[in-house]
Amino acid sequence: MSTVVETDVLIVGSGPAGASAALALSTYGVPNIVVTRYASLADTPRAHITNQRTMEVLRDLGVEQDVVAQATPQHLMGNTTFCTSLAGEELGRVRSWGNDPLVQAAHELASPTRMCDMPQHLMEPVLVNAAVARGTRLRFETEYLSHSQDADGVTATVRDRLRGDTYEIRAKYLIGADGGRSKVAADAGLPMGGQMGVAGSINIVFEADLTRYTAHRPSTLYWVLAPGATVGGIGAGLVRCVRPWTEWLIVWGYDVTAGAPDLTTEYAEGIVRGLIGDDRIPVTVKSSSAWTVNEMYAERYSDGRVFCAGDAVHRHPPSNGLGSNTSIQDAYNLAWKLRLVLDGTAHPRLLDSYSAERAPIGRQIVTRANQSIRETAPVFEALDGLSPQTPEQLWANIAARKDTGEAAEKQRAALREAIAFKVYEFNAHGVDLNQRYPAESSAAIVPDGTPDPGFARDPELHHQPSSRPGARLPHAWITSGTRTLSTLDTVGRGRFTLLTGIGGEGWVRAAESQELEIATVVIGPGQEYEDPYGDWARLSEISEAGALLVRPDGFVAFRHASTAPDAGELLADALRRILGHV
């Protein structure tokens, strides 16, 4: 007879989505179990770019410094280089990941956190260890097989791969964070758009001391334009730094219609040697694996009591580094909602806002990542390297850019322009930080009647803060006594927070009179928090006596521009809507 284990939330998968869901739920005190198919966490580097929004999430969950301690810092990430091989000719660079001085300033103004490079095999243990320390029960070698749901919960059947037997886990909710081949999403019948298997790619993990070719132009990514580099893959050959400057991962394409090549060590070494371009360097291949570029997203992220997150619902190439970032952000959006529904504070209707808010983001990032692959073609075009040709012709075209004369000058200009355009992949600050949840689609956001401010500059490249409901709370440095902290540090920790200023006493009383615990933050001279630089006054978009109600995930849920005699009622009405009671 099979055993039945009970919990509040069952999470399938211990990747970035599942691990961060577990971490957030355990931080909020929600009992949860994680089952994961394999005997270990990720054993290869996989996703690595960790953007500011994710670092803010990790800061709230108390693991930011654990990540910073192990990650490659931002200043070593930023010289994305295009070359014929690491030892070969350099074709150009893009200042990336916030390392362009202007973008660097924008990064500093936007967030208390810094972007970093945290390979997935290092990130997962940070998330999982913290989750387990806070109460998550984790079962390795346990495979999700199926689920059924009824009015009160979900029953999942799992297989213990060590013993070979199956048992049931009864949970109130199920999170499918089981990656790009998600069985949970398939079993839940989530409608998917787009296409799987657009192109073929190979990852090769290897060790080699490449200091002499990389330390003078420190970067996370070195792109290699060489014969065969346009076949499949992610736009060109890629040498990615895992640990400066001795651990690496190469991404190389294959023709998906011909099937994956036989990944022998000799085959992998041949690719590695070609991309390094210096046979004197000792190389140790650690592993290689084939995968496909996908362009697929779920139109809906949930079915009843089943919610999917991460690659289960958005499947895309690594371009722009959005994989684990979006997965962690999905989980963070979902966890506080589950907590409030489980403890009876919110109506289950609140959970509908998960799909309403996150599915459009998923679709956007899938499209962006695939678009970034296509935007590498002009780099080859500038070298006349897209038309079928022999390797000798490609090398001759590349060499031609060094000639005198009008044609060569034109070629150099086209190459510069095509490489510079890659900022949409390597410096897209807006893609990282401009996520907004419109009140028209999410019931967990209360419209304040103001028009959508849109974006004054390219929304993919430039971050534009806003305190309009549905936007992430703008970051400003404020002080409390001798302490300097971010406005974002005053929110989170699983609670709603009301921010106001001098004259906002009515809002503070209103917050204190609600049944739901709401933290209050008063910013102004002589208050607990002060705004010595005047940054908050510039960014808050409300008068000092106005109020912002911020959700546990740092998004503004309700805004009132000034003082209000009926603040208590306004806030109560807003909370009823946000918590799904109307």
277-296 residues in contact with ligand FDA (CB under 6 A) are 289, 291
Residue 369 contacts residue 294 (beta carbons within 8 Å): no
Bridge partner residues of 560 (DSSP): 547
Selected binder of ligand FDA within 7, 8, 9, 13 (CB under 6 A): 13
Per-residue contact flags (x/-) with ligand FDA for residues 290 to 329, judged by CB under 6 A:
-x------------------xxx-----x--x-xx--x--
Q: C-beta of 228: minimal distance to ligand FDA in Å?
A: 20
Verify binding: residue 554, ligand FDA, rule CB under 6 A. Answer: no
Selected binder of ligand FDA within 8, 66, 143, 187 (CB under 6 A): 143
Alpha-carbon distance values, 33 to 9, 132, 162, 375 (Å): 7, 10, 18, 42
Residue 238 contacts residue 297 (beta carbons within 8 Å): no
Q: C-beta of 372: minimal distance to ligand FDA in Å?
A: 12
Q: Which stretch binds ligand FDA (CB under 6 A): 37-45, 440-448, 457-465, 500-508?
A: 37-45
Verify binding: residue 192, ligand FDA, rule CB under 6 A. Answer: no
Element at 365 (helix H, strand E):
helix 352-374
Indicate the residue among 99 and 324 with the shorter CB distance to ligand FDA: 324
Verify binding: residue 18, ligand FDA, rule CB under 6 A. Answer: yes
Verify binding: residue 167, ligand FDA, rule CB under 6 A. Answer: no
Verify binding: residue 157, ligand FDA, rule CB under 6 A. Answer: no
Indicate the residue among 372 and 486 with the shorter CB distance to ligand FDA: 372
| For helices 323-342 and 352-374, angle between their N-to-C axes, nearest 10 degrees | 180
Verify binding: residue 35, ligand FDA, rule CB under 6 A. Answer: yes
Verify binding: residue 88, ligand FDA, rule CB under 6 A. Answer: no
Q: Report the greatest alpha carbon distance in the chain.
A: 82
Indicate the residue among 263 and 571 with the shorter CB distance to ligand FDA: 263
Verify binding: residue 38, ligand FDA, rule CB under 6 A. Answer: yes
* 442 secondary structure, DSSP code: -
Report the relative pairing of strands 166-176 and 237-243 from DSSP bridges: unpaired
Size of the site for ligand FDA (CB under 6 A): 33
3-state secondary structure 151-216: CCCEEEEEEECCCCCEEEEEEEEEEECCHHHCHHHHHCCCCEEEEEEEEEEEEEEEECCCHHHHCC
Indicate the residue among 238 and 398 with the shorter CB distance to ligand FDA: 238
Verify binding: residue 15, ligand FDA, rule CB under 6 A. Answer: yes
Q: C-beta of 556: minimal distance to ligand FDA in Å?
A: 27
Selected binder of ligand FDA within 153, 179, 494, 554 (CB under 6 A): 179
* 553 secondary structure, DSSP code: T
Residue 290 contacts residue 216 (beta carbons within 8 Å): no
Selected binder of ligand FDA within 46, 59, 147, 577 (CB under 6 A): 46
Q: Which stretch binds ligand FDA (CB under 6 A): 33-41, 81-89, 106-114, 292-300?
A: 33-41
Selected binder of ligand FDA within 47, 190, 199, 202 (CB under 6 A): 47
Q: Which token pair is 64?
A: 């930011």
- The CA distance from 35 to 183, in Å, is 13
Indicate the residue among 364 and 486 with the shorter CB distance to ligand FDA: 364
List CB contacts of 246: < 8 A, sequence separation 6 or more: 207, 208, 209, 210, 211
* 475 secondary structure, DSSP code: P
CB atoms within 10 A of CB 512: 12
Q: Which of 428, 486, 487, 433 is nearest to 464 (CA)?
A: 433
List residues near ligand FDA by CB under 6 A: 12-18, 35-38, 44, 46-48, 120, 143-144, 177-179, 183, 203, 289, 291, 310-312, 318, 321, 323-324, 327
